[in-house]
Chains A and B, each alone.
Chain A
Amino acid sequence: MSELTKLGVAAIRDGVAKGDFKAVEVAEALNARVSAAKALNAFIVETPEKAIEAAQAVDVDRAAGKPLGKMAGVPIGMKDLFCTEGVQTTAASHILEGFVPTYESTVSANLWKAGAGMLGKLNLDQFAMGSSNETSYFGNVISPWRRNDGSTAALAPGGSSGGSSSAIAARLCPAATGTDTGGSIRQPAAFVGISGIKPTYGRCSRWGVVAFASSLDQAGPMARDVRDCAIMLEAMAGFDPKDSTSLDLPVPTWEAGLNSDLKGKRIGIPKEYRLDGIDEDIAKMWDNGIAWLKDAGAEIVDISLPHTKYALPAYYIIAPAEASSNLARYDGVRFGLRDLPEGAGLQDMYAATRAAGFGEEVRRRIMIGTYVLSAGFYDAYYTQAQKVRALIARDFDNAWASCDLILAPTAPSAAFGLGEKNADPLSMYLNDVFAVPASLAGLPAMSVPGGLDKQGLPLGLQIIGKALDEQAVLNAGLAIEQRSGFTAEAGEWW
């Protein structure tokens, strides 16, 4: 492996700026690595020419002495949920196969403006609905990790940002975009031993991101360490008049603000997250995390988030309800697939197109959403769920009276095998039990590696912060990173 492909975001940016190597050399090395890793199925489309083009522009700017952007010379993977002008954008669905946007999402445009280049479009769960990357129309993404018992069983890279997590863990790219609706950045990051942060709802523009559940969807960076996440989040975030829920606030300088001294910070440990029958490796990692944060100067306090157990069921009403509305746009008329059976009318065309174009999990969620919003059931399901959601947010507000951050596991288990949780949709949903509450409350939350379990698989620690306090979340993540000694990498078998 070329040394350049081992570098993270900061190292590439700094090396390019200093002239240690050219941006084009990095892009070429990573393009080669991406193209040799087809067995992981992390990319739906590879765009080596885009990576080279962006790198050449950075090299030209540097030679001319022009100022370089925050991500200058850093090639990244782009989750295929972000519209990219001139490059197919599918949300990993058949219904959008062949869709080539004529516009660029705000987040991806911000990244290109900052000097990043695109290695390709990353695979994901279809419409970001899934926790294992098994719902993609373009096939499962495989995690580069394997269990330490010599088995070659294919493991889930997590979801929905599973192409992103797999590609970063396999060192095909130093960083990638993710989106998080109910854990889709944090759970895959935890499954492959990398870092990822979902910022406060409204920090990153949703404009040009294929919509799943608009009140929850939030983009964020995934990378190999906390500093790289801070750098990339700075490049992605910012006010966008084209998104009505975008926060009109300046973007903090999170990288410059990194500081792992946690003196004066109070870390809440929510008792409701200590589920009966919690995996003992998870419990041990959590205890280690507590010790690390204490060592960094923080005070540990016990807190209660009493409505935690209702977060998942509330999520599985609210998210499908919003999805059923958002996905009404796929009608076979304006873009994407059209299935027009012989002699069919308009209504039959809609129904045939959507049956052929949406995968099973997407159809299931659209139908649940349609049901809970239908006449006679709206109040019992949807209104009740939104009230419970208000109570979940209030739980956090109450907790902030006694703590500044919350520490919990990211997921209740390490990565599971592909196919292991497919029989019952509910068992898959339960994997997001620790991730969903912060999504419902719109809070910034990050996963950082916390160690390996008995099978030799990575586990993630989750830090949840107050709205807009990404800095404290990143700082606690850094404190953990400096103490966990996590350097494990997946062995290269692909």
Chain B
Amino acid sequence: MSVDKDTVNKIARLSRIAISDAEADKMVGELNGILAWVEQLGEVDVTGVEPMTAVIANKLRLRDDAVTDGDVRDKVLANAPAREGSFFGVPKVIE
């Protein structure tokens, strides 16, 4: 599989990363180089192999459904680039 410039622009859109025309051109070559290299995985016989989901066998724990923290609004907002009162400010989304 190889990617063209349209595909690179689509991936950039899905990634929410703005790219220039020149960057897209450069990325076509780089992504194709990396993708051609990872393609060798296709030659591995994986018949009957389950994809790995946990590196080290470990049971997911359940916790009590209890509130154990919170009430830290100002801490949560402390690093917001555009705080508005007690909210995160964003550009208008609905006209």
Interface residues of A (CB under 8 A from B): 98-103, 200-202, 215-216, 241, 244-245, 247-248, 307, 309-310, 313-314, 316-317, 324, 328, 331-338, 340, 344-352, 354-355, 358, 363-364, 366-368, 370-371, 374, 377, 380-381, 383-391, 393, 424-426, 440-442, 467
Q: Which residues of B contact A384 (CB under 8 A)?
A: 41-42, 44, 46
Are B38 and A313 interface neighbours, CB within 8 A? yes
Q: Which residues of A contact B42 (CB under 8 A)?
A: 380, 384
Q: Which residues of B contact A380 (CB under 8 A)?
A: 1, 42
Interface string of B65-83 (1 = CB under 8 A from A): 0000000100110111110
Q: Which residues of A contact B52 (CB under 8 A)?
A: 386-387, 389-390, 393
Q: Do A354 and B56 form a contact, CB below 8 Å, given A99-B79, A307-B44, A338-B82?
A: no
Closest to B10 in A: A374
Output the least CB separation between A130 and chain B (Å). Answer: 15
Are B12 and A426 interface neighbours, CB within 8 A? no
Top 7 closest pairs, chain A to chain B, by CB: A442-B55, A386-B51, A335-B79, A338-B81, A102-B75, A351-B18, A355-B18
Are A336 and B81 interface neighbours, CB within 8 A? yes
Q: Do A200 and B56 form a contact, CB below 8 Å, given A317-B41, A390-B49?
A: yes
Are A358 and B50 interface neighbours, CB within 8 A? no
Are A340 and B91 interface neighbours, CB within 8 A? yes
Q: Which residues of A contact B63 (CB under 8 A)?
A: 241
Are A364 and B27 interface neighbours, CB within 8 A? yes
How far does the alpha carbon of A374 sit from the alpha carbon of B3 in the complex, in Å? 13
Interface residues of B (CB under 8 A from A): 1, 3, 7-8, 11-19, 27, 30-31, 33-35, 37-38, 40-42, 44, 46, 49-56, 58, 60-61, 63, 72, 75-76, 78-82, 88, 90-93
How far does the alpha carbon of A364 sit from the alpha carbon of B81 in the complex, in Å? 25
Q: Do A345 and B93 form a contact, CB below 8 Å, given A102-B75, A367-B27?
A: yes
> What are 17 A-B residue pairs whose CB atoms fall within 8 Å in the complex?
A102-B78, A201-B55, A216-B55, A241-B61, A331-B16, A332-B81, A351-B16, A354-B16, A355-B17, A368-B34, A370-B14, A371-B31, A386-B51, A387-B49, A389-B52, A393-B52, A426-B37
Are A345 and B92 interface neighbours, CB within 8 A? yes
Are A383 and B51 interface neighbours, CB within 8 A? yes
Are B31 and A244 interface neighbours, CB within 8 A? no
Are B55 and A363 interface neighbours, CB within 8 A? no
Closest to A247 in B: B58
Q: Which residues of A contact B11 (CB under 8 A)?
A: 367, 370-371, 374
Q: Give the contacting residue for A324; candidates B15, B34, B40, B44; CB below 8 A.
A: B15
Output the least CB separation between B66 and chain A (Å). Answer: 12
Are B34 and A426 interface neighbours, CB within 8 A? yes
Are A317 and B55 interface neighbours, CB within 8 A? no
Q: Give the contacting residue for B33; candidates A248, A313, A424; CB below 8 A.
A: A424
Q: Which residues of A contact B19 (CB under 8 A)?
A: 355, 363
Q: Which residues of B contact A336 (CB under 8 A)?
A: 79, 81
Q: Which residues of A contact B14 (CB under 8 A)?
A: 370, 374
Closest to A248 in B: B61
Q: Give the contacting residue for B46; candidates A99, A351, A391; CB below 8 A.
A: A391
How far does the alpha carbon of A202 sit from the alpha carbon of B54 in the complex, in Å? 11
Q: Give the contacting residue for A100; candidates B18, B50, B78, B81; CB below 8 A.
A: B78
Output the least CB separation between A160 and chain B (Å). Answer: 19
How far does the alpha carbon of A100 sit from the alpha carbon of B50 in the complex, in Å? 42
Q: Do A202 and B58 form a contact, CB below 8 Å, given A324-B15, A390-B50, A425-B34?
A: yes
Closest to B63 in A: A241
Are A346 and B91 interface neighbours, CB within 8 A? yes
Closest to A356 in B: B18
Q: Which residues of B contact A331 (CB under 8 A)?
A: 16
Of B15, B33, B41, B90, which is in contact with the most chain A CB atoms at under 10 Å from its CB? B15
Q: Give the contacting residue for A367; candidates B12, B49, B58; CB below 8 A.
A: B12
Are B17 and A366 interface neighbours, CB within 8 A? yes
Q: Do A245 and B58 form a contact, CB below 8 Å, given A385-B41, A391-B49?
A: yes
